Amino acid sequence: MTLTVGQMVPDASVEYWRRGSPGAKKMSLADLRGSWVVLFFYPRDFSFLCPGEIASFAALDAEFVAAGATIIGASTDSYFSHNAWFEQDAKLKDVDFPIIADTSHELARLFGVLLNDGSALRGTFIIDPDGMVRHASINDLDVARNVGETLRVLRALQSGEMCPAGWETGDESQLTYNEWLARVFPKLKKSALADATKRLHPVLFERGDIIIRQGGRPDKFFIISDGEVSVIRRTNDGGEVELARLGKGEVFGEMGILTGNRRTADVRANTDVAAFALDWDDFKAVIDMSEPTAQDFMQIVDQRMKALPE
């Protein structure tokens, strides 16, 4: 099996060299869970291009650590080869992260970088705290990698946002979005919130207005920013049953959109009401952007359906 993006890294015990540690040490890949890991393979000890790129990782080690990530190097050379090379080569004097001695080739084979001669391609992998591979890139032997780009990708993955070409740290701070929308959709990415904000429009209602009418077609979703409404079910005998009172920060109108049914109740303004509205298509688009958000709203629908009188 060769690991790809989206797959979990299985547990494996590996031997490694680290500066200042007497003798070879062992670690389990399972021990790395809980933090981000940047694992890079290089072809061989005592090779031409490798010192430069390994030194580049060392130069940015503090920034990777600040980002909550651990750098780990690996080649198929032995601990003794690592120890001799890293202690002798002046370019590697600042390397202070583990270097795996993958003499069994198990790890290189698992990550798909093992060559027929037993060396490894220049593979770079970013693994999230759950142990899932989130990024993979592999260079040919003759092309050293850009370590700064690896750091950029790490930060982009950590942002939790949809990151366009050329994304840099801080770009997400330029996104503006409606705070009421953010409270209602806490699991939505900032970029998605910014996009949804463009589709949001403010609406005002006077006390006594019927905002949603029972039996009507679902067309809008509402977030109350000020005021109070009552959700009222009209009965066959002409009576009314108040199902709920909703105030600032609460929502209504999602049931019909998500179930595809006609409105099951009136919504009447008890006071002057200020709200934000999303049209049917726009609300569906927001829900479709995030599976956790969709699940949250379906739970709300389920609860409100159970509250309806028979």
pLDDT digits (tens, 9 = 90+) for 248-267: 999 998 887 778 788 888 99
Check residue 146 and give its pLDDT: 94
pLDDT digits (tens, 9 = 90+) for 218-239: 899 999 999 999 999 988 887 8
Q: Cα 241 to chain center, whole Å?
A: 43
What percentage of the chain reaches a pLDDT higher than 70? 95
Q: Give 92's DSSP letter.
A: G
Domains 13-172 and 179-307 share a fold: no
Domain ranges of the chain: 13-172, 179-307
pLDDT of residue 161 exceeding 60 = yes
Q: Which residue numbers are catalytic? A: 50
Burial 269-292 (b: 16+ CB within 10 A, else e): beeebebbbbeeebbeebbebbee
pLDDT digits (tens, 9 = 90+) for 105-136: 999 999 999 999 999 999 999 999 989 999 99
- Among 24-33, 83-92, 161-170, the minimum mean pLDDT is found in 161-170
Topology, domain 179-307: Jelly Rolls (2.60.120)
Tell me, yes or no, if the pTM score tops 0.75: no
Options 3.40.30.10, 1.20.58.1610, 3.90.740.10, 3.40.50.300; CATH for 13-172 is 3.40.30.10
Positive or negative, the CA dihedral 143, 147, 148, 154 is positive
